Structure 1
């Protein structure tokens, strides 16, 4: 859509570095069962099925980064944030699949 802001895509390694530097709050928008089965250490779970942008946890000055399984749901969550008037526009491109493909660890 013309004039629509672009979602900022971060790679798995960019997210890992930012997590390690405590610069981001990673929000996993997958469903609770998916999150419980496997997630990125430090991520918090806010499922897309009940997603309310205004109820997102405080990032305390950090950049809030959205994440899902492949990047589709997190991009949808970014769109919900925009529609709610929030400046939350960053997600992990490729989601946890890209994270694992990059050889990065998960919590099971």
Structure 2
């Protein structure tokens, strides 16, 4: 059930580059440490408090997770509690990587941080 709140990886990437959004990653800290999108703020769904999300009238809140399921839950909880319009990255960081967009990750073989480019 796609709607205007289901954003594509390329849309999120362009909006992030342009400073039009605040990207909120709702995965757990270990997931975030292993792989993340530049500029994303961490606010795990397990301890999610909608009113703690930093809102900014000039930028739209966009939630992100691994596959899009948790970010959709966060989006719905956030909008219900705050009344603020927001969106989420459809397909999560998996879709982001599939689109070839840059992220920071830990190489499991070497333990080294790999940064494949900023926006």
- Alpha-carbon RMSD across the aligned residues, in angstroms, is 1.4
SS in 1 for 2:19: coil
Could you tell me which of 57, 72, 75 is aligned with 1:75? Answer: 72
Q: Distance in 1 between matches of 2:104 and 2:47?
A: 23
- Cα distance in 1 for partners of 2:49, 2:80 equals 11
Q: Which aligned runs of 4 or more in structure 1 are off by greater than 6 angstroms?
A: none
Q: Are 2:60 and 1:45 aligned? A: no
- 2:8 matched to which residue of 1? 11
- Inter-CA distance 68–31: structure 2 relative to 1 (3 Å threshold): same
- The runs of 5 or more residues in structure 1 that have no matched partner are 1-5
Using CA pairs under 8 Å that are at least 6 residues apart, name the structure with larger relative contact order, 1 or 2. 1
TM-score, scaled to structure 1: 0.89
Residue 23 (structure 1) aligned with residue 20 (structure 2): yes
Asked which structure has the greater CA Rg, the reply is: 2
| Gap runs ≥5 in structure 2 | 106-119
> Which residue number corresponds to residue 85 of structure 2?
88
Distance 1:64 1:85 in 2: 12
Higher-strand-fraction structure: 2
Cα-to-partner distance string for 1:28-76 (whole Å, 9 max, x where unaligned): 0000110011000010000000001001123352111000000000000
**How many positions carry a matched residue from both structures?**
103
